[in-house]
Amino acid sequence: MITTDKLSANALDFIDDVKLQMLLQRGAPEPEQVRDVIAKSLSKAPLQLDETAVLLRAENRDLIGEIFEAARKLKRDVYGNRIVLFAPLYIGNYCVNDCAYCSFRRSNKDAVRRTLSPEEVARQVEALEDRGHKRLILVFGEHPKYNAEFIADTVRKVYSVKKGNGEIRRVNINAAPMDHEGFRIIKEAGIGTYQIFMETYHHETYQKVHPENTLKGDYLWRLDALNRAFEAGCDDMGIGALFGLYDWRFEVLGLVAHSLFLQEHYGVGPHTISFPRLQPALGVQLSNQYPVNDYDFKRLVAILRLSVPYTGMILTARERAELREEILGFGVSQIDAGSRIEIGGYTEIGDAQVQAIEKEQFRLGDLRSLDEVMRHLLNAGYLPSFCTSCYRTGRTGEHFMEYAIPGFIQRFCAPNGILTLAEYLHDYASEHTRKAGERLIRKEMEKIEDKGILKLVEERLRKIKREGKRDLYF
């Protein structure tokens, strides 16, 4: 199996199951306790584990209502009304692991296995660019075929594909953990975020769903992955847990513990947290002992928002459209849209609202096209953004944290959101979406207080519209 000399300098199994369980068993908190924790979080201070546990133990509906309201407020204060959009691109589903919940697992003989060739990657990317996407996350099974060189080559390929005004400006990846050398190789290819989910932080459950004789069966190798990534130069990292494998409260504490560990040892917390909910998948007969209902799902999103005020939160198309729209306000900063998770799906299935379950990892809840999602966001008053400026101007890791302060949004995020939205409206939007977008841009411009910035944004909007200029950012 994995040799320990490949682990990071800070390799440590910092998840203490007994301690986390005890924090969850302390009994219902007094309302004042809950309000004190909310107040701390509204001052934008990250919460400690015992404070998050107070929010998790609150069962009174009114108190939970206060938690929801606070999460909405914090989201508005830190992120404004922006929602960043991206799409997943599945590259290959060969896998040596046997994760009980995933249809890519090696023992699933019904899965149609496939790896996109470089030419096929190019066709998928063109199809995504034709719809208006600028940010992708590449997804891989774990297999010797998908080593760091292969992943790096695929990332370079994606960046190289340009069609019309289309280009991909940020390529994130979700792939199996690597050693330091592997992370160096993918960093050099220009990846944005390296994302990896622990799936479950609960040791016994982890061993149950990840057989011991598989690479993924090694809990510490996975928990340590982001330490190695950071040591190899990737300072933009995403964590996540697959909700439904174990008690959702425990997983929230696991995510917060992970976040605090990275902050303490590397000076940077995760850039994003994901909270996928277990979905039905081909050949998966997992008895769902810990289903998370919609109400608890909303609670966990709100509590995560309050616990890690400056961490982006990703809500995927696993969830139904109506629920996604409701949860957006609770603190989500990024969503995928127009997603196809069949390998080759962007050209072979397109925007048809059907799924080819034998070719994909799990069922999606939201099959709307990017244009439709954009229109809904705009009509609900959100500013959909394709901005990739922070990562391209070096505002990542520690520097991103420094910038994630009030004023930053007004100076950078909102103007960049407006400019990337204007590009989208001009190049890709349907008539209805374009009208909704132009209305929103007018409203957003009225909010810009700094006259200097306002003038610059107006100038750049003119350049986009009249001179056909693209990729103008602050």
Residues near ligand SAM (CB under 6 A): 101-102, 104, 139-142, 174-176, 196-197, 199, 242, 276, 278-279, 281, 284, 318, 361-362
Partner in contact with 189, chosen from ligand SAM, ligand SF4, none, beta carbon below 5 to 8 Å by kind: none
State the nearest-atom distance from the C-beta of 316 to ligand SAM, in Å. Answer: 8
Contacts of 181 (CB under 8 A, 6+ apart): 148, 232
Is 172 exposed, middle or buried (CB count within 10 Å of its CB: 0-12, 13-18, 19+)?
buried
Phi, then psi, of 428 in degrees rounded to 5: -135, -20
Phi, then psi, of 385 in degrees rounded to 5: -130, 140
Partner in contact with 105, chosen from ligand SF4, ligand SAM, none, beta carbon below 5 to 8 Å by kind: ligand SF4
Partner in contact with 278, chosen from ligand SAM, ligand SF4, none, beta carbon below 5 to 8 Å by kind: ligand SAM
State the nearest-atom distance from the C-beta of 272 to ligand SAM, in Å. Answer: 14
Partner in contact with 175, chosen from ligand SAM, ligand SF4, none, beta carbon below 5 to 8 Å by kind: ligand SAM
Place of tokens 């976040």: 259
The backbone region for 184, taken as left when phi is positive above 0, alpha when psi lies in -120 to 50, beta otherwise, is alpha
Inter-residue contact 88 to 137 (CB < 8 Å): yes
- Beta bridge pairs of residue 272: 238, 312
Cα–Cα distance, 369 to 372 (Å, whole number): 5
State the nearest-atom distance from the C-beta of 349 to ligand SAM, in Å. Answer: 18
Cα–Cα distance, 240 to 198 (Å, whole number): 6
The residues that touch ligand SF4, with contacts defined as CB under 6 A, are 95, 97, 99, 102, 104-105, 141-142, 216
State the nearest-atom distance from the C-beta of 23 to ligand SAM, in Å. Answer: 24
Residue 465 to residues 171, 332, 382, 424, 427, Cα–Cα distance (Å): 26, 30, 22, 11, 10
Q: Write down how long the chain is.
A: 474
SS3 70: helix
The residue (of 125 and 245) whose beta carbon lies closer to ligand SF4 is: 245
State the nearest-atom distance from the C-beta of 113 to ligand SF4, in Å. Answer: 11
State the nearest-atom distance from the C-beta of 78 to ligand SAM, in Å. Answer: 26
Partner in contact with 146, chosen from ligand SAM, ligand SF4, none, beta carbon below 5 to 8 Å by kind: none
Partner in contact with 196, chosen from ligand SAM, ligand SF4, none, beta carbon below 5 to 8 Å by kind: ligand SAM
CA nearest neighbour of 474 among 411, 385, 422, 402: 411
Partner in contact with 121, chosen from ligand SF4, ligand SAM, none, beta carbon below 5 to 8 Å by kind: none
The residue (of 271 and 318) whose beta carbon lies closer to ligand SAM is: 318
Partner in contact with 339, chosen from ligand SAM, ligand SF4, none, beta carbon below 5 to 8 Å by kind: none
State the nearest-atom distance from the C-beta of 223 to ligand SF4, in Å. Answer: 15
Cα–Cα distance, 464 to 448 (Å, whole number): 19
Q: Compute how many other C-beta atoms are within 10 angstroms of the C-beta atom of residue 183.
A: 23
The residue (of 146 and 386) whose beta carbon lies closer to ligand SF4 is: 146
The residue (of 58 and 245) whose beta carbon lies closer to ligand SF4 is: 245
State the nearest-atom distance from the C-beta of 2 to ligand SAM, in Å. Answer: 15
The residue (of 153 and 438) whose beta carbon lies closer to ligand SAM is: 153
